Amino acid sequence: MTAEKPLRLRMAGSVTLTDAPRLAAQLSALPASRPVEIDASALEQTDAPVLQVLVAAVRAAAQEGRVLSVRLLPEAQPAQLAAELALGPFLAPDACTDPLTE
């Protein structure tokens, strides 16, 4: 038996507080029978409530034995972001990795 291909979804543009309830409903309606990958790296604007909805969905999926992953930043961006923000000793660019990739 082969593993089912993941359902790949993309988030782009602006997704903010007013969109959070609709996003939560959409995430809870995703099929439980196949892995889901959400690429949110094209978001131009988001906020804490949206990130909370995404984190809660990933946690709920894990507790239910489902696979739901979210990619928030392009692979090169975490190190660039840390360097641009000059986070210095608090967050060195070498320490920045996307926790959702292997």
- Residue 7 sits at φ, ψ, to 5 deg, of -80, 120
The answer on pLDDT for 80 being more than 80 is: no
Return the half-sphere exposure (C-beta side, CA atoms, 13 A cut-off) of residue 59: 7
- Contact between 16 and 45 (Cβ < 8 Å): yes
Partners of 42 in beta bridges: 12
CATH class in words for 7-71 = alpha beta
30: β partners: none
| DSSP single-letter state for residue 54 | H
Render pLDDT for 22-66 as a digit per residue (tens, 0 to 9). Answer: 999 999 999 889 999 999 988 888 888 999 999 999 999 999 999
pTM for the full model?
Answer: 0.70
How confident is the model at residue 96, as a pLDDT?
42
- Contact by Cβ (8 Å): 93, 59: no
Question: What pLDDT, on the 0 to 100 scale, is given for residue 82?
Answer: 55
pLDDT, position 83: 55
Radius of gyration of the chain (CA): 15
Domain map (residue ranges) of the chain: 7-71, 76-102
Q: Find where tokens 């291909």 sit.
A: 5
Per-residue confidence at 20, pLDDT binned at 50, 70, 90?
Answer: very high
Q: CA 67, CA 34: separation in Å to the nearest integer?
A: 7
For position 28, what pLDDT does the model report?
A: 92
